[in-house]
């Protein structure tokens, strides 16, 4: 009985601070600092590793960087060898896969976001698209080999490679396009519908223009992935030595990562250096593409602020 009375009085009266709280401010702050140091450490480690990686490429490659690397065709003699055919092959391949994945990816993103009912089916499709984005790229290579190279008889052509690579980046394009479309404020759609616009007019004139920077960013970033991807192309027949520029979608081709792989697997030391130089070129192209994505996004986001 007396314990009950005690409890009641504590609740109703102003509590004595030392009796109810043990603030331990110093301990809590120290614990916070420990975590802060751990996070800082991870960041530093990541930057150092990246720096080491860059150095291991720049150091051997820097003396071999030259215009010849970009303008010459591959050769048995390291001093004469270039990656012109590989650069053009990459441009053809990535351009083709970007067009393919943009058209199909944007189309399905529009359907899933704007038209499809939100139910278990669309959830199921959504989950599977996310899963596809995580499938190893070699699997796409095998798929491309069976469907495009053999079944559809495209052979070891740029077209087969582009479609395979397009499939590989399609999930990312769909996901990023859906997110960009979803981010368009509903007030914009309402304004459009309120004026008697049809669904297509609303999508065409308001949703897509507002979502386009996000969509383009997704496409460019996935192009960056495609340009560095090697494994599926080995399977669908990117050649390891092509001495001419591709002349059309059915041309044989090689791409930059394959050229680099080819050079690193040669016994001569010089080819290893040449490969390092080629990696630098590839990285510059990647940086330019990523910067382009950022510039596009900022350019458009200045235009539509709401």
Partner 1 sequence: MALRSTGTTVPTLPAKDNTARTQEETILRLDKLNVFYGNFHAVSNVDLDIQKNRITAFIGPSGCGKSTVLRCINRMNDLVPSARVEGQVLYHGQNLNSRNVDPVEVRRRIGMVFQRPNPFPKSIFENVAWGARINGFKGNMAEHVERCLRQAALWDEVKDKLKESGLSLSGGQQQRLCIARALATSPDVILLDEPASALDPISTLRIEELLRELQTHYSIVIVTHNMQQAARLSDQTVFFSLSDTRSGILVEAGQTEQIFTNPVDPRTEAYITGRFG
Instruction: Please tell me the distance from the alpha carbon of residue 105 to that of residue 117, in angstroms, as a whole number.
Output: 18
Interface with partner 1 (CB under 8 A), residue from 156, 178, 206, 273:
206
Interface with partner 1 (CB under 8 A), residue from 45, 99, 191, 243:
191
120 binds partner 1 (CB under 8 A): no
CB 298 to partner 1: min, Å: 15
306 binds partner 1 (CB under 8 A): yes
Region binding partner 1 by CB under 8 A among candidate stretches 56-64, 82-90, 186-194, 211-219: 186-194
Interface with partner 1 (CB under 8 A), residue from 33, 201, 265, 298:
201
Q: Would you tell me how many other CB atoms lie within 10 Å of the CB of residue 249?
A: 16
Cα dist from 165 to 90, 96, 150, 170, whole Å: 11, 9, 16, 8
Instruction: Tell me whether residue 56 or residue 199 sits nearer to partner 1 (CB atom).
Output: 199
Instruction: Decide: residue 132, CB within 10 A, 0-12 exposed, 13-18 middle, 19+ buried.
Output: middle
291 binds partner 1 (CB under 8 A): no
Interface with partner 1 (CB under 8 A), residue from 91, 147, 188, 289:
188
Interface with partner 1 (CB under 8 A), residue from 24, 205, 294, 295:
205
Structure tokens at 125: 């499709």
Q: Give first-to-last CA distance, the chain, whole Å.
A: 64
Cα dist from 25 to 29, 35, 36, 214, 261, whole Å: 6, 16, 16, 45, 57
Structure tokens at 109: 């993103």
Interface with partner 1 (CB under 8 A), residue from 73, 133, 139, 197:
197
Instruction: Please tell me the distance from the alpha carbon of residue 55 to that of residue 61, in angstroms, as a whole number.
Output: 9
In the complex, which residues of this chain contact partner 1 (CB under 8 A)? Answer: 117-118, 185, 187-198, 201, 205-206, 209-210, 303-306
């Amino acid at each position: 009985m007396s314990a009950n009375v005690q409890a009641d009085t504590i609740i109703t009266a102003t509590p004595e601070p030392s009796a109810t709280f043990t603030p331990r401010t110093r301990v809590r702050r120290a614990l916070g600092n420990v975590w802060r140091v751990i996070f800082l450490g991870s960041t530093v480690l990541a930057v150092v590793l990246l720096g080491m990686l860059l150095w291991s490429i720049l150091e051997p490659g820097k003396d071999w960087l030259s215009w010849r690397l970009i303008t010459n065709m591959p050769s048995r003699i390291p001093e004469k060898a270039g990656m012109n055919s590989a650069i053009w092959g990459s441009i053809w391949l990535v351009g083709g896969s970007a067009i393919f994945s943009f058209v199909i990816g944007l189309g399905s993103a529009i359907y899933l976001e704007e038209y499809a009912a939100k139910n278990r089916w669309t959830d199921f499709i959504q989950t599977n698209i996310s899963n596809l984005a995580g499938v190893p790229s070699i699997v796409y290579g095998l798929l491309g080999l069976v469907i495009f190279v053999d079944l559809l008889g495209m052979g070891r052509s740029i077209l087969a490679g582009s479609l395979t690579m397009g499939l590989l980046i399609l999930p990312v394009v769909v996901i990023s396009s859906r997110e960009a479309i979803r981010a368009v404020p509903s007030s914009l759609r309402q304004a459009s519908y309120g004026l008697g616009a049809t669904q297509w007019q609303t999508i065409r004139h308001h949703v897509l223009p507002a979502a386009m920077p996000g969509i383009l960013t997704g496409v460019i970033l996935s192009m960056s992935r495609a340009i560095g991807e090697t494994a599926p192309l080995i399977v669908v027949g990117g050649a390891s030595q092509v001495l001419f520029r591709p002349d059309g979608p059915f041309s044989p081709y090689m791409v930059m990562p394959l050229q680099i792989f080819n050079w690193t697997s040669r016994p001569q030391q010089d080819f290893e250096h040449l490969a390092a130089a080629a990696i630098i070129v590839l990285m510059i192209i990647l940086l330019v593409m990523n910067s382009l994505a950022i510039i596009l996004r900022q350019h458009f986001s200045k235009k539509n602020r709401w």
